[in-house]
Amino acid sequence: MAASEEHDSPTEVPQPAVEKEETKTFKDLGVTDVLCEACDQLGWTKPTKIQIEAIPLALQGRDIIGLAETGSGKTGAFALPILNALLETPQRLFALVLTPTRELAFQISEQFEALGSSIGVQSAVIVGGIDSMSQSLALAKKPHIVIATPGRLIDHLENTKGFNLRALKYLVMDEADRILNMDFETEVDKILKVIPRDRKTFLFSATMTKKVQKLQRAALKNPVKCAVSSKYQTVEKLQQYYLFIPSKFKSKRLGSLNKFKAKARSILLATDVASRGLDIPHVDVVVNFDIPTHSKDYIHRVGRTARAGRSGKAITFVTQYDVELFQRIEHLIGKKLPVFPTQDDEVMMLTERVTEAQRFARMELREHGEKKKRTREDVGDNDDTEGALGVRNKVAGGKMKKRKGR
């Protein structure tokens, strides 16, 4: 990304500690009344640290670089200033938010529409894996906010007739480090070339990598850096423990993201794809089944709970093979984690029940597979009742022979 000579290094504006303590409401930050009411309806009782730092500066028209711990309320830090400005100068295709994943894009859209529901804000989510035609129709309606992954947005900029971002007023790059780590650098370059230079830009990232610094120089003008934590750490209200467990006693749980978000399932089994960006308020406990190879991934995983001032708990399974990785995590976060209190005898008594449940599950899966393989070619037999068919299947070992001449 070619750096522009007018894009200076970020300045850090120190905020007096006393002032931060006195600032307790969104109205104190300069947010208009109608949006303050929307915050109350969402249960946002007071602004988070990154919101206290970023919102007043954004309302002053400054470009922002936001560095904050995961679960810090970053979406509100850029959504509220954008909606505040939209109220002052209403316009279609007012803001573009770039995100690395479709899940994060839909989540950001939900927050924009929730905050702007009383003022009629419309947003469009432009991501891969969804029909392009329906997205083209949504863009034709010229929503106020476009939330997109870089690749699919480029597709529409190049192929959707009548769609352009030449009047754009705000650009947000959320999770910028992930956007660049997913090799979207070429797409971001193309997007920067077709949007106005005279705009406000917010760049939010968990880490300040070399790629993010390069993007900052290319995309931001005289930015202000808002960093609410200078080192890797977890939020204060997160209770963290470890549980030492021999590796042979680990068992599994299955679930899906949508059912989990809808509270239809109480347990979600996920890979690191879900370790960043997802904001599900009712997550009470995060269990690290395997210790991440990269210690920084631990920060993101446990950040799925204790978000935006809420409390939470994280428990990490540590086997005899994981001690070194676990010690690296403790070194990174700067604290020794206590052992999670358990009654070993009670836990070991459950292993027999778990083993029995696994055996039944394997039997059901095997029977289900066999039923799929069965054909209906036995319809012409002398006795074709359901009961007789079941008896024949058992005698034949679950397999039916094909008849000759058919």
107 and 137 both lie in a single domain: yes
**298 CB burial (10 A radius; 0-12, 13-18, 19+):** buried
206 and 318 both lie in a single domain: no
Q: 292 pLDDT band (50/70/90 cuts)?
A: confident
184 and 255 both lie in a single domain: no
In-domain check, residue 69:
yes
160 and 287 both lie in a single domain: no
Residue 376's contacts (CB-CB under 8 Å, 6 or more residues apart) are none
Q: What percent of the chain has pLDDT over 90?
A: 34
146 and 180 both lie in a single domain: yes
> Lowest-pLDDT range, 145-149, 318-322, 383-387?
383-387
Cβ neighbours of 398 (radius 10 Å): 14
Q: Of 193, 227, 261, which residue is a domain's last?
A: 227
Q: Of 320, 342, 364, which residue is a domain's last?
A: 342
Q: What are phi and psi of 204, to 5 degrees?
A: -115, 135
86 and 150 both lie in a single domain: yes
Q: Of 321, 342, 363, which residue is a domain's last?
A: 342
pTM for the predicted model, two decimal places: 0.60
44 and 130 both lie in a single domain: yes
In-domain check, residue 89:
yes
User: Average pLDDT in the 341-357 region?
Assistant: 81
Q: What are phi and psi of 123, to 5 degrees?
A: -130, 160
Tell whether the model's pLDDT for residue 88 goes beyond 90.
Answer: yes
278 and 141 both lie in a single domain: no
Q: What are phi and psi of 244, to 5 degrees?
A: -80, 125
In-domain check, residue 363:
no
148 and 172 both lie in a single domain: yes
In-domain check, residue 139:
yes
In-domain check, residue 354:
no
In-domain check, residue 356:
no
379 and 269 both lie in a single domain: no
Residue 287's contacts (CB-CB under 8 Å, 6 or more residues apart) are 314, 315, 316, 317
Q: How many structural domains does the chain have?
A: 3
Placement of tokens 């120190």 in the chain: 14
Domain span holding position 99: 17-227
213 and 251 both lie in a single domain: no
Q: What is the pLDDT of residues 118-169, one digit of tens each?
A: 899 999 999 988 889 999 999 999 999 999 999 999 999 999 999 999 999 9
Read off the tokens for 99.
Answer: 């995100």
302 and 165 both lie in a single domain: no
Tell whether the model's pLDDT for residue 57 goes beyond 70.
Answer: yes
In-domain check, residue 10:
no
What's the CATH number where 276 sits?
Answer: 3.40.50.300
> Lowest-pLDDT range, 134-138, 177-181, 238-242, 311-315?
238-242
Q: Are 29 and 204 in contact, with CB atoms under 8 Å apart?
A: no
In-domain check, residue 347:
no
